[in-house]
Structure 1
Amino acid sequence: MIVILLLTLGFTPIAAEPWQICGDAAMNYTTNSTYHGNLELLSTKLTHNATTSPYHYATASAGAAPDTVYGLALCRGDVNATACGACVATASLGAQQLCPYRADATVFYPTCRLRFSGKNFLHPDDYSQIVDGVVNTMNTTDTTNTAPALPDWDSGNAESVAGITEIVRELLQETARQAAYSSGARMFATGRMDVGGGFPALYSMAQCVPALTHRDCSSCLQVISFMATDNFAGRRGGRLLALWCNLRYDTDHFYDGDPTVTVVSPVKEVVPPAVLAVTRRKHKRGMIKVVLPLLASIIGLIISFIFIKRRRIKGNGSQDKHTKMNVKEDEAIVWGLEGRSSEFMIYDFPQVLEATANFSAENKLGQGGFGPVYKGRFPDGLEIAVKRLASHSGQGFTEFKNEVQLIAKLQHTNLVRLLGCCSQEEEKILIYEYLPNKSLDLFIFDETRRPLLYWNRRLAIIEGIAQGLLYLHKHSRLRVIHRDLKASNILLDHEMNPKISDFGLAKIYSTNDTEVNTERIVGTYGYMAPEYASEGLFSIKSDVFSFGVLTLEIVSGKRSSSLHRCGDFINLLGHAWQLWKDERWLQIVDVSLDIECHTLEIMRCINAALLCVQENAADRPTMSDVVAMLRSEGMTLTEPKHPAYFHIRVTEEEDISIVTEPSSVNDMTMSALRGR
């Protein structure tokens, strides 16, 4: 709802601060009236409550109808209580001066915002009033058309416009994601991006009113971030202000403290197009004259070096040959890290040994197909999760190299963060951020832990996974198919925010590829799309299928594939679809959930999940569609067709046994059904 209505809005640059929006002139009051007295009382309440609130946020009302005054105040997340109180007190007075005798006024100061009104706009569950508030305050920004432009901005050069706009967009969107989903109830984040090449560092800030849900905060920020990059035209700084959310970026470090997120630039360096063109024309011939002889010399040295090395290792035996192979593998990994995050580290093996207490049993967190996982702590106090490749695992090394070279270039709040790696002879180690709540499967499939995931938390997890997949499929600098999305590969941070992990099986694909074929089928039975399991065909729709399965598991608290029957079906998909078709979908929902308060949201999630697991890949939505389905309550969802594996059923007279047959071709364990 918020997204749909906001997209129709524009905004008008306003140069001076503070910035105000004065409400309907028909809503007014007079000096010394009852409303005026209530407004003075409200101002005192807001100042006191914002000062004492841990989030420097306050709502209040004063007086009785018809002269009740409602108010909201929020200070910027980096100011202290004293500064917050002073700003709110000033804003209360300023609103009355800037909008004299208006009964509805909104003002924005550099470190706080405030609104009062004779209409009750405070209830966060009343979406129409949230939208009204945003509409009334989407029309102001402190930038003007005369503000200085960023270096190398050339409005007549499409390449310059696209490159610099992408830099600002990436900074704002990542800061917005951090504020919406990774800052807890504060809903405040700051960011920094270093582009390099003489381009100034950029700083950013995003904030939402804490009363919003994480989803509404994300929706509000996402829309105004697009409006920001569409209208700021390369200027060095600007802010887009709304009552319920706002964004700002600047070349000046305008906030206090260190940034909460460091954003990786989507481009390595901004090169002035005009200078680049002149340089190419001027030096083309000279470069050829210099480069060709130099290149010939380098090639000669390389050939000589290879010849000498071959002479040295000839006859040295298998150990030297194996060592040489390890060196090549290590070099291949390092070479593949071009373009990685500047925060990615290459660690020495002794550092890892010290951090994990020599891989002690007490520090072991678990065991995966890759190898054991340990908890560790670096001397500076940073807690880490250390994934150690099992010895002599050829396939494990391939997945190790794939994960290092891929995830090191990705950064999103719903992807697990790879801090670095260690590659030293036989030791191949991945080092991640430590996530204390471990994986999602430990909660949703556990009878005692499952009730801890109340519905709003489950919905946030579903939405977070959807956002992470959307980033992989569409918004990252690479286009990635995960291929092994499942509950055990969703990790949870201390606030239960989901993070997609384990990219060992992931594949990069071209935007021109709708489908890719592979002879080696890998993944987890129960989450694999039918076209992939049977024919080796995978696409982004394979991940969509896995997401649908996972969503049904989160809603129901049941595994999709297990030794237990689901009605007349062998898995959860067919059972869920049949109940949906019979309008008995409530029977799918985990009994520990409070269904009555969230019926429509739960129904929408089940509908979206069933659309994702349809048998025909062409019928499944994209993750962009899925995100829209989950966010837009006014959006009408289509009826799902039957899911994959729907035709495999169990009759009342028939029992089943699960026979595990390891498949050497597919590198996974398949389960074959046999009747008795």
Structure 2
Amino acid sequence: MAMVTVVLGALLLLLGSGGLAPFRASADVFCDNLKLVATALPRNISTSPVHFATTAFGQAPDVVYALALCRGDVVNGTACGECVASTFQRILNWTPPPDPPAQCYRAFYYYADPCPVFYTTEDIITPTNDTAASPFVKWNEKNVTGDVDLVVGLTQKLLVETVDRAATATPGRFATGVMDSGTAYPLVYSMAQCTPDLSAGDCSVCLRRLLGMVNSTMVLRMGAQIHVVHCYFRYEAYQFYDSQPMLSLGPASAPALTPAMEKNKRHFSKLWAIPIVLFPLAAGACLCFVLYSRQKKMQRKVATWLLNMLPRAWQLWNEERWNELVDSSLLPKDHSEEMVKCINIALLCVQENAADRPTMSDVIAMLSSEPIILAEPKKPAHFNVRVGNEEESVVTESYSVNDMSISVTIGR
């Protein structure tokens, strides 16, 4: 029943987003290609050491791109291949498309453990094509009970550590964990996985993008699973995988501070107060500087200039194009996570609603905490204000209000 629910959820998601696009192929070539893929992919994945396989078969417009991945705790290759074959059989026997005589759906995303299977007419094999995909999300309907703050805090830490472990795990990009709150609340189990063709950095970016959807409201749920083709994670208040958890978390127990320790702590805090406070200022300054260097033709006063820069920054962030905010010479892959974190925090500080902006103490905590789950920034102030064209700005330094929801002028 749970598997059927997941499949139905995927279908509803795809129907709403245009993911399922059934139509008659010439002589049903697409369906014939799909049947060949359904035979080849289980065989290929059963011999894969990482239980992952992709294939592209046929010619446009009837080409089939397909991908299958067995969960990391499925260690038997034969069992993995049989699982994928069974999944394809369910897909091929699914209710036919609503426009006869078509026999096959042109796309199908089967987000079900332990062997998700995907196929479509578009290239889903290339990992970079997954960055802007709409995730499949399923939340547990029940909320956390008992000591909510303790459970939520430990759950967030568990998810971050599980994601980080999965990103660095080789060769499978798979990790599991368990959290014991030390209370009557059930154990919380977590799992994260990427397709093995992702690098550690790309896997981390993919999973952290999904992790960002677990905001302060949704983290109160007892469980969730969030998927895109190349990565996904899940957590529940019960064990939903077969292997032993790879990491374990429990309630922290810190010893009480003695007067001498408290004095040293205050002294240490004073020593670090200035550099820590400077971090958010530096992050904001770097963001503004990088944007300015990319807009050399725009000559505006500071206040007017910011009206364009902040919406542009938020738009690029929202479109998963944050790297365009950073000069290429300042974008080493080893530090991409730190840059994402700084840009995220900077955008949180300029949100339109002042109540949504973090306090200075919040910013310090976010910058000094590792790992941490950051909220997705909302649109900045003056998002609907549009500055006039370059020629007008040089002469009059004026701006006008535009009623369009997105209206950002960018110098070319």
Deviation at 1:226, TM superposition (A): 3.0
Change (3 A) 1:539 1:608: farther
Distance 2:268 2:244 in 1: 36
- The residue correspondences of 1:192-591 to structure 2 (distance < 5 A) are 192-230=178-216, 232=218, 234-265=220-251, 338=255, 515-516=272-273, 539=276
3-state secondary structure, aligned to 1:191: strand
Q: Answer yes or no: is 1:65 the counterpart of 2:60.
A: yes
Structure 1: gaps of 5 or more residues: 1-12, 154-159, 269-336, 340-401, 403-505, 517-536, 546-599, 613-622, 631-676
Shift of 1:627: 4.7
The answer on whether the counterparts of 1:228 and 1:240 sit within 8 Å (CA) in structure 2 is no
Of 587, 604, 607 in structure 1, the residue corresponding to residue 330 of structure 2 is 607
1:178 aligns to 2:173 (yes or no) = no
**Which whole-Å CA distance do the structure 1 matches of 2:33 and 2:233 have between them?**
32
The answer to whether 1:74 aligns with 2:69 is yes
Q: Specify the alignment match of 1:595 in structure 2.
A: none
State the distance in 1 between where 2:57 and 2:232 align.
Answer: 27
CA distance in 2: counterparts of 1:24 and 1:251, whole angstroms = 31
Deviation at 1:188, TM superposition (A): 0.4
Letter in 2 for 1:41: L
Distance 1:29 1:170, change over 3 A: farther
Larger Rg: 1
Deviation (angstroms), 1:163: 3.6
Deviation by residue 1:196-223 (Cα, 9 ceiling, x = unmatched):
0323221110011122222221122112
Q: 1:95 aligns with which of 85, 91, 94?
A: 91
Alignment of 1:134-149 (within 5 A): 134-135=133-134, 138-141=135-138, 143-145=139-141, 148-149=142-143
Shift of 1:57: 0.5
1:111-131 CA-partner distances (Å, limit 9, x unpaired): 01111111122123xx3x222
CA-CA distance at 1:174 after TM superposition: 0.8
- Alignment of 1:168 onto 2:155: yes
1:125-136 correspondence to structure 2 within 5 Å:
127=128, 129-132=129-132, 134-135=133-134
| Larger helix share, 1 or 2 | 2
With a CA cutoff of 8 Å and minimum separation of 6, indicate the structure with the bigger relative contact order. 2
* Deviation of 1:230 (Å): 4.5
Deviations 1:551-610 (A, max 9, x none): xxxxxxxxxxxxxxxxxxxxxxxxxxxxxxxxxxxxxxxxxxxxxxxxx99x9575368x
Instruction: Label 1:131 to 1:217 Cα distance change in 2 as closer, same or farther (>3 A).
Output: same
Q: Cα–Cα, structure 1 residues 215 and 540, in superposed 2: closer, same or farther, change >3 Å?
A: farther
Work out whether residues 29 and 36 of structure 1, in 8 Å CA contact, stay in contact via their aligned partners in 2.
no
Aligned match of 1:553? none
| Alpha-carbon separation, structure 2, partners of 1:216 and 1:508 | 40
Assess if the C-alpha contact under 8 Å between 1:95 and 1:106 holds in 2: no
In proportion to residue count, which structure has more strand? 1
Distance in 2 (CA, whole Å) between partners of 1:151 and 1:629 is 34
User: How many angstroms does 1:59 deviate by?
Assistant: 0.3
* Paired position in structure 2 for 1:20: 10
Partner Cα distance (1:508, 1:200) in 2: 41
- Runs of at least 5 residues in structure 2 that lack an aligned partner in the other structure: 98-103, 283-322, 345-412
Q: Secondary structure at the match of 1:190?
A: strand
Given that residues 144 and 220 in structure 2 are in contact (C-alpha distance below 8 angstroms), is that contact kept between their aligned partners in structure 1? yes
Whether contact under 8 Å (1:20, 1:95) holds in the other structure is no
**Is the alpha carbon distance of 1:229 and 1:626 closer, same or farther for their aligned partners in structure 2, counting shifts above 3 Å?**
closer
C-alpha displacement at 1:95, in angstroms? 3.0
Kindly tell me the number of residue pairs found equivalent between the two proteins.
281
Distance 1:338 1:32, change over 3 A: farther
What letter is aligned with 1:199?
Answer: Y
Task: Determine the C-alpha separation between the residues in 2 that align with 1:66 and 1:625.
Answer: 40
Cα RMSD over matched residues?
Answer: 4.1
CA distance in structure 2 between the aligned counterparts of 1:226 and 1:180, rounded to whole angstroms = 16
Structure 1 counterpart SS, 2:243: coil
- Normalization by structure 1: what TM-score? 0.37
Q: Which of 29, 32, 52 is the aligned partner of 1:34? A: 29
Q: Does the Cα contact within 8 Å between 1:608 and 1:629 map onto a contact in 2?
A: no
Question: In 1, distance between residues paired with 2:44 and 2:57?
Answer: 13
Correspondence for 1:44: 39
1:150 to 1:626, Cα distance in 2 relative to 1, 3 A: closer
2:145 to 135, 144, 151: 151
Rounded to whole Å, the distance in 2 between the matches of 1:508 and 1:70 is: 61
Counterpart Cα distance in 2 of 1:114 and 1:205: 18
- Whichever residue aligns with residue 197 of structure 1, its letter is T
Deviation digits for residues 278-326 of structure 1 (CA, Å, limit 9, x no counterpart): xxxxxxxxxxxxxxxxxxxxxxxxxxxxxxxxxxxxxxxxxxxxxxxxx
The 3 A distance-change label for structure 1 pair 170 and 98 is farther
Question: How far is the alpha carbon of 1:234 from its aligned partner?
Answer: 3.1
Question: In 2 relative to 1, CA 105–508 (structure 1 residues): closer, same or farther, beyond 3 Å?
Answer: farther
**Letter of the structure 2 residue corresponding to residue 93 of structure 1:** Q
Relative distance call for 1:54 and 1:99 in structure 2 (3 A) is farther
After superposition, the Cα gap between the structure-2 partners of 1:219 and 1:507, relative to the gap in structure 1 and judged at 3 Å, is farther
The answer to whether the 8 Å contact 1:58/1:72 transfers is yes
**Equivalent residue number for residue 407 of structure 2:** none
Query: Taking structure 1 as reference, are residues 88 and 626 closer, same or farther at Cα in structure 2, changes over 3 Å only?
Result: closer
Over 3 Å counting, the alpha-carbon distance change for 1:66 and 1:17 in structure 2 is closer
- Given that 2:124 and 2:229 are in contact with CA atoms closer than 8 Å, whether structure 1 keeps it comes out as no
Q: Distance in 2 between matches of 1:221 and 1:212?
A: 11
The amino acid across from 1:170 in the alignment is: K
Q: Distance in 2 between matches of 1:20 and 1:31?
A: 27
